Each structure stands twice: as structure tokens, then as C-alpha cells.
Structure 1
Amino acid sequence: MSKKIIPYNPALKALARKLRKNMTDGELLLWDELKNDKLLGFDFDRQRFIDNYIVDFYCKDLMLAIEIDGMSHNYQEAFNKDELRQQKLESFGIQFLRFSESEMKTDMFNVMRTI
């Protein structure tokens, strides 16, 4: 089985690096659960650039993107942008899981169970 090649914008590399250095509390909590192939041996990247977007976490083998939505995602404009972005990435065959920042802090057991 050959891996699907998904385009990316190399201009996003510096921004992705900056986002990795400034992760939210929820992102840090989830990264602690995903790094070093802790989740059933799957390799996750954080702040991965795909097409013209950056997703919080991505597993290439599962073609799974995980997004942690903070307060800024509660507004209609941000919701609409998220929706378009998710549809575009899903067109490449990527599946999405979304969790709230508060879920990371209060319900990590069920977050990990869902993943």
C-alpha cells in the first residue's frame, strides 16, 4: 500500500515552529499523551503543515488530524473558517477529531478513548 502524497506549503514551516514553541495548555496535555509513539505505537506530529493549513496534531499512518479548539473558535467567523479548512483537508482523505481546550483539562480519559 503506497502512502498518499498530500501537498504542503513550505512557507508555513516557520509558523509551525513558532506554534510548537507556544502551545496552549490543552495542546501540551495532549502532546504529553501522544509523543514518543505512546498511543498504540502511532507516530504523531504536532503543528503539522498540510496544504495551506497547520493542524494541531497529525498521524500520517492513520491520516488523522486532531484539533484543540480554544475560546477563539467560539465565534461564527472562526467556526466558518474551521469548517472550510476541515472540508479541504478531508478532501485529501484526512479524518478529523476536534476537542475543546476544556476537555483536555477535565476529561483526558475520554479524549484518549475517543482517539
Structure 2
Amino acid sequence: MRDTYTRTLVPRARELRREQTPAERKLWFLVLRTHPVKFRRQVPALGYILDFYAPSARLCIELDGRSHDEAEAQAYDSERSRVLGGAGIRVVRVQNAEVVRNLSGVAALIESALQR
């Protein structure tokens, strides 16, 4: 998973780990940190930083806030998902608000993605 972009992304990934959004913090501490499938936070990969990544399942969980609603951000996210998909990494996108309102539903969605 290491690539030429990792060296420049590692400091940013460390910063993002220290400064998680409330939704990231909630999902990490209540679901993913103790999940039987090992997840990692803020993982540099293929020129991007993945919010949560399970290497054994090749599954990426991306949390999207309001900034992802704009057309430019959606185009960027689409390209990012295409690149990751081309490398065999499945991407599951979840809205921050959904994590806050319906954590059990998000957990079920992640379980479903892990079963595929």
C-alpha cells in the first residue's frame, strides 16, 4: 500500500488522526476501534488519505460532511473512488450526519460491506 505519495501525506495523516471530526471520533471509538476486522485511521494510499481502511478486506470507509455536497467536491470524490476501485479497494461513503443520527445503521452498512 505504500507508494511515492506516502512521504508527503504522512504528516497530514498524523494531523488528521489528532484532529478527528466529531463523526470520525464517534465511528472510531464506538464501532471501528474494537471491530474484529482491523481498521486503520487516516491512511495514506495512492495519493489520498483514506478516513478508515481495513487492509484485510480492502475496504475504505469515507465520511463526508457538507463540503462534499458541491459539484467540484463530488467530481473529486468520484475520481478518487475510481482510482481506489481500480486498485481493488472498495469505497463506502457515509454522511457525517448519518453517523451522528444513526450509528447502528452505519455499523450495519459496514458489516454488510465486509460480508461482500
* Fold match by TM threshold 0.5: yes
Structure 1 vs Structure 2: percent identity of aligned residues? 34
Task: Give the total of aligned pairs.
Answer: 107
Pairing of 1:36-75 with structure 2 (within 5 A): 38-39=34-35, 41-75=36-70
Pairing of 1:2-13 with structure 2 (within 5 A): 6-8=1-3, 9=5, 10-13=7-10
Shift in Å, 1:67: 0.3
Q: Which residue of structure 2 lines up, in the alignment, with residue 97 of structure 1?
A: 92
Residues 33-79 of structure 1, C-alpha deviation per residue, up to 9 Å, x if partnerless? 111xx22x111100001010001000000000000000110100000
Distance 2:75 2:20 in 1: 23
Shift in Å, 1:7: 4.2
For 2:9, give the aligned amino acid.
L
Q: Which runs of 4+ in 1 moved over 6 A?
A: none
Distance 2:2 2:79 in 1: 17
For 2:85, give the aligned amino acid.
E
Pairing of 1:13-24 with structure 2 (within 5 A): 13-24=10-21
Structure 1 length-normalised TM: 0.90
Distance 1:82 1:49 in 2: 16
| Pairwise CA RMSD | 0.9
Q: Which residue of structure 2 lines up, in the alignment, with residue 34 of structure 1?
A: 32
Shift in Å, 1:31: 0.5
For 1:96, give the aligned amino acid.
V
Q: Which runs of 5+ in 2 are unaligned?
A: 111-116
